[in-house]
Structure 1
Amino acid sequence: MHKFTLPDMSCGHCVAAITEALKDADPHARVEIDLPTKTAQVDSAQARDSLAHVLAEAGYPPAPAA
Structure 2
Amino acid sequence: MSDAITYRMNVQGMSCQHCVKAVTQAVQAQDPSAQVSVDLPQGRVEVTTSLPEESVKAIITDEGYTVQP
Cα drift, residue 10 of structure 1: 1.0
Q: 5+ unaligned residues in a row in structure 1: which ranges? A: none
Cα drift, residue 12 of structure 1: 1.1
RMSD of aligned residue pairs (Cα, Å) = 0.8
TM-score with structure 2 setting the length: 0.87
Matched, 1:19 2:21: no
Q: What residue is the counterpart of 1:8 in the other structure?
A: 13
Q: 5+ unaligned residues in a row in structure 2: which ranges? A: 1-5
Once the two structures are superposed, the pairs formed by residues 23-38 of structure 1 within 5 Å of their partners are 23-38=28-43
> Highest Rg: 1 or 2?
2
Q: What residue is the counterpart of 2:53 in the other structure?
A: 48
* Equivalent AA in structure 2 for residue 38 of structure 1: G
Cα drift, residue 29 of structure 1: 0.3
Structure number having the greater strand percentage: 2
| Distance in 2 separating the partners of 1:15 and 1:32 | 8
TM-score with structure 1 setting the length: 0.91
Over the matched positions of the two proteins, sequence identity in percent amounts to 33
* Runs of 4+ deviating beyond 6 Å: none
| Distance in 2 separating the partners of 1:2 and 1:14 | 18
Deviations along 1:3-37, whole A, 9 cap, x unmatched? 11111111111111111101111101011111111
* Equivalent AA in structure 2 for residue 61 of structure 1: T
Local SS of the residue matching 1:10: coil
Q: Number of paired residues?
A: 64
